[in-house]
């Protein structure tokens, strides 16, 4: 468990008091916020030394590149004024960069080279890796954190570091390799004797995919295998962070050649999205598919985990008023989405959890991307009923029995709830997609 100073605790307490002042008599929101905001800092963030912070996801003692970014994002609000928090976040960035350099295909890492995790998977495992499911977003989130840390604090030393530039080159090389997975990729993954969604078909190569300009993905951010290997929201997230990199290389590093290279890759991926990732739906019109294969097949759905189609404005890929996004939003928040469930509460679930379980993360994301104040108020009230009496968020919860849930300690979900609350107060870090005020 981490130990933080009185100064840091006081800074966090001030944020909680601001939440209490804003929401007034709504004690449930303040209570949940205080618990979630504090719990992540005190139970999941483990400083290991200079420029080294390990972040466990909660009830699993491993660090996901995706989760660790999402877990610390709200603390960016305090990073400029609080040196301890700034140092912790910088440590997360450097730990992520070193993890990518260890293996850019891995999604989760051990605190040390202790050999924990899924060491029997048929893939190129190392003792420092907990799991080696390749997910595009695992490489997007560390770029996002490095970028937002710069914007929140003005610090650029991490962007100038050898670790950052080497990790970026590894990411760019991997994404270009995976533009033609069938011909160029060395990656295979099999987990035998487990559920079907934990392994890849064709001897670990995954479903056959045509070259589209997009970059291939083995697994969804749920850690479940893709049905078709061009995961549209993950490719969209890649476009966003490539544009971050273009800005970094142009404005911070003065490297016009690399800036042009990342801009070209972003354009190729985005062109693939526009050509293959938009489907004409008979009821909703033009919508974004969730996955495609380049041969004309597609999956129409959304999953609670982020990047998701619901999250596109939050990620910065499109505006909340984008007409294709609005059509897609109507579809995925309807019975047309096979993972949309309704009962005492309603929202989007996942193949990763049982039927009729929705994820509080998806409810928070629905609020974060809504322009309707009444809808957001309703969603906050719904979230306050989804803690199952524990005072914190969970993974999935049974829409018909709000005492039944998965994962009692799930920090990502806690902190996304905090983001939703803070966004309602108009508080967010500079240059984040959430810097805009709600319409």
- The percentage of residues in the chain with a pLDDT greater than 90, rounded to a whole number, is 93
Return the pLDDT at 424: 95
Return the pLDDT at 428: 65
Assign 1 a pLDDT band (cuts: 50, 70, 90).
low
List of domains in the chain:
6-432 (1.50.10.10)
Show the DSSP H helices in 280-333 as ranges: 312-315, 323-332
Return the pLDDT at 437: 35
- Condensed to tens digits (0 to 9), the pLDDT of residues 95-138 reads 999 999 999 999 999 999 999 999 999 999 999 999 999 999 99
**Which pTM does this prediction carry?**
0.96
pLDDT at 433 over 60: no
Q: What mean pLDDT do residues 333-351 have?
A: 97
Contact between residue 300 and residue 279 where contact means Cβ atoms under 8 Å apart: yes
- Condensed to tens digits (0 to 9), the pLDDT of residues 144-155 reads 999 999 999 999
Contact between residue 94 and residue 164 where contact means Cβ atoms under 8 Å apart: no
**Six token digits for residue 259:** 């800036």
Return the pLDDT at 427: 79
- Indicate the burial class of 3 (C-beta count within 10 angstroms; 0-12, 13-18, 19 or more): exposed
Show the DSSP H helices in 282-344 as ranges: 312-315, 323-332
- Condensed to tens digits (0 to 9), the pLDDT of residues 366-389 reads 999 999 999 999 999 999 999 999
Angstrom distance (rounded) from CA 32 to CA 414: 9
User: What does each C-alpha distance from 29 to 24, 36, 181, 405 come to in angstroms?
Assistant: 10, 11, 46, 20
pLDDT at 431 over 70: no
Angstrom distance (rounded) from CA 322 to CA 333: 16
* Cβ neighbours of residue 378 closer than 8 Å, sequence gap 6 or more: none
Name the residue among 58, 51, 95, 55 with its Cα closest to residue 75: 55
- Condensed to tens digits (0 to 9), the pLDDT of residues 186-204 reads 999 999 987 899 999 999 9
Q: What mean pLDDT do residues 220-242 have?
A: 97
Angstrom distance (rounded) from CA 360 to CA 379: 10
């Amino acid at each position: 468990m981490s130990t933080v100073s009185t100064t840091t605790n006081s800074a966090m307490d001030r944020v909680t008091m601001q939440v209490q002042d804003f929401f007034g008599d709504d004690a449930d929101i303040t209570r949940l916020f205080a618990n979630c905001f504090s719990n992540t800092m005190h139970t999941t963030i483990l400083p290991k030394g200079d420029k080294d912070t390990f972040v466990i996801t909660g009830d699993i003692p491993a660090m996901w590149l995706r989760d660790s970014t999402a877990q610390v994002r709200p603390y960016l609000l305090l990073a400029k004024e609080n040196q301890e928090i700034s140092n912790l976040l910088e440590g997360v960035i450097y730990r992520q960069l070193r993890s990518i350099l260890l293996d850019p295909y891995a999604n989760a890492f051990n605190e040390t080279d202790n050999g924990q995790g899924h060491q029997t998977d048929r893939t190129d495992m190392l003792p420092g890796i907990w799991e080696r499911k390749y997910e595009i977003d695992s490489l997007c989130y560390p770029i996002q954190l490095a970028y937002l840390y710069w914007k929140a604090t003005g610090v650029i030393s991490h962007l100038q570091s050898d670790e950052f530039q080497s990790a970026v080159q590894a990411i760019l090389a991997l994404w270009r390799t995976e533009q033609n997975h069938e011909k160029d990729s060395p990656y295979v993954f099999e987990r035998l004797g487990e559920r079907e969604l934990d392994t890849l078909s064709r001897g670990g190569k995954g479903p056959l995919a045509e070259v589209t300009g997009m970059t291939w993905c083995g697994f969804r951010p749920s850690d479940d295998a893709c049905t078709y290997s061009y995961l549209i929201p993950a490719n969209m997230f890649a476009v966003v962070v490539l544009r971050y990199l273009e800005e970094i290389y142009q404005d911070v590093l003065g490297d016009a050649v690399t800036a042009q290279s990342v801009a070209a890759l972003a354009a190729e991926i985005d062109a693939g999205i526009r050509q293959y990732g938009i489907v004409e739906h008979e009821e909703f019109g033009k919508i974004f598919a969730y996955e495609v294969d380049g041969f004309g097949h597609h999956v129409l759905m959304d999953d609670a985990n982020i990047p998701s189609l619901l999250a596109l404005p939050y990620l910065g890929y499109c505006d909340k008023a984008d007409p294709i996004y609005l059509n897609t939003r109507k579809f995925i928040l309807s019975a047309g989405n096979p993972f949309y469930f309704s009962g005492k509460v309603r929202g989007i679930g996942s193949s990763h959890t049982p039927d009729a379980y929705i994820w509080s993360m998806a409810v928070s994301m629905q609020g974060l991307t809504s322009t309707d104040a009444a809808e957001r108020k309703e969603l906050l009230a719904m979230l306050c009923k989804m803690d199952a009496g524990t005072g914190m968020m969970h993974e999935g919860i049974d829409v018909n029995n709000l005492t039944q849930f998965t994962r009692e300690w799930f920090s990502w979900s806690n902190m996304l709830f905090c983001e939703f609350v803070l966004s309602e107060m108009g508080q967010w870090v500079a240059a984040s997609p959430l810097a805009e005020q709600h319409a």
